[in-house]
Amino acid sequence: MKVLKLKKHYLKDYLNVLRNWGEVYGPVKQEDKYIYGLLDDLDKLDTRMLRTILPAKKFLVPPRFSTFTFKDHSYEPELNNLPNRVVFGVHPCEIHGIVILDKFFLERFPDPYYGERRRRTAILGLSCVPDDKCFAKSTNTHFAEFGFDLAFNDLDDFYLVWVGSSLGDDLIRLKLELFDEEIKQSDLQKYMEWRAWRDTQYKLNLDLTAMPDIMELNYESPLWEKLGDKCLACGACSMVCPTCPCYNVQDQIRPNKTEGKRERLWDSCMYKQFALVAGGHNFREKRSQRVRLWYTHKLKAFITEFGKAACVGCGRCIDTCPVEINVKTVVSELKGGK
């Protein structure tokens, strides 16, 4: 993997150049939170952000998009004219989330909607320093070794920039003169010191080993009833989770009744209607069953299917759930904590 240096004050110049390739998105402050916003004005970029409200999955699987337009019984796929996009500021945990989505959407039955957006979206990673809700070190997702096109590691006055793909290489070549190809021993030294320091910054540490066993042992636990009583079934945990992939499909018809579009929307297994079938039978009527399904999928079923849990330690569920049902509290209670 090629590594380069970029002086920090060149970052905006570089992002400006990337606009020749596609729309450039990055962390933007919105009230007291951050989002991945369109950097139509590069001064909006705010690299101090820790976690955005919605994860970068929104670029690969938008919250709502049209999969087909239809007229009578003829369905035309909506896969053309998707824009090229650069997403800057994606933290290592989220890159791991994207790698999980890649497995989910591309390995078994490739999904052209995901595949096409993925191909047209350049992922530009950015190093981060955790807060008290991050636990990416516990999930071993605090460094990303692949899954990005470029990755920027912040070292005071410069970034070390890893080139992770041929697209990343092409993007560097759009303005190669901004980069310094010579990495000194002192730069390496600085990077290693930063890594060691940053490892000490994780205040939230969870032992997530053998979670499938712990989930299994807790299958009949009264804990699920307790969590079900508390859960508001709002689905926010699914929306903010970088790896929640579930979706619903709805046909939107125009007033002429012959034309319309087939849309795909984010869905959540926390919703009461999620397992409802025509005729009124609901396979997961109770909230406790739905909370258990969410955590079973995330911490157990995914390991069986893909060899890896689907939690990347980003802390969004901790930040978002209004009643404190999140990976931190659930894991702690599953293991016999308070």
Partner 1 sequence: MIKNPFQPIPAKIIDIIEETPNIRTFVLDLLGADFSFDAGQFVSLTVPGVGEAPFTPSSAPYVKDTIEMTIMKVGKVTSKLFELPIGAFVGIRGPFGKRYPIEKFEGKEVLILGGGVGLAPLRSLFLALCANLEKYKKIFIKYGARTPKDIVYKKQLSEWKNLKGVEVQLTVDNADKGWRGKVGVVTILLDDPKLNNTSEMIAVVCGPPIMMKFGTIKLLEKGFQGQNIYLSMEKNMSCGIGQCGHCRCGQYFVCKDGPVLTWEQIKDIEDPF
- Binding residues for partner 1, rule: CB under 8 A, are 67-68, 70, 72-75, 77, 79, 104-105, 108-113, 115-116, 219-220, 245-251, 253, 257-258, 260, 262, 267, 269, 274-279, 281, 283, 289, 293, 297, 300-301, 304-305
| 74 versus 166: smaller Cβ distance to partner 1 | 74
Instruction: Measure Cα distances from 95 to 149, 243, 333 in Å.
Output: 10, 10, 28
Closer CB to partner 1, 166 or 304, in the complex: 304
Instruction: Enter the DSSP assignment of 308.
Output: S
Sequence-ordered list of residues with C-beta below 8 angstroms from that of 198, at least 6 positions apart, any chain: 127, 129, 130, 142
CB of 206 to partner 1, least distance (A): 23
C-beta of 321: minimal distance to partner 1 in Å? 19
What span, in angstroms and rounded, lies between the C-alpha atoms of 101 and 104?
A: 5
Minimum distance, C-beta of residue 241 to partner 1, in the bound complex (Å): 12
Which is nearer to partner 1, 153 or 268 (by Cβ)?
268
- Select 35 or 276, whichever has its Cβ closest to partner 1: 276
Least gap, CB of 95 to partner 1 (angstroms): 21
| CA distance between the termini of the chain | 46
Strand partners, 154: 159
Beta-carbon contacts of 220 under 8 Å, excluding residues fewer than 6 positions away, are none
Which residues, in sequence order, are bridge partners of residue 65?
264
The tokens describing 50, both together, are: 């820790």
Residue among 21 and 68 whose Cβ is closer to partner 1: 68
At closest approach, how far in Å is the CB of 174 from partner 1? 26
Residue 265 has phi, psi (to 5 degrees) of: -125, 145
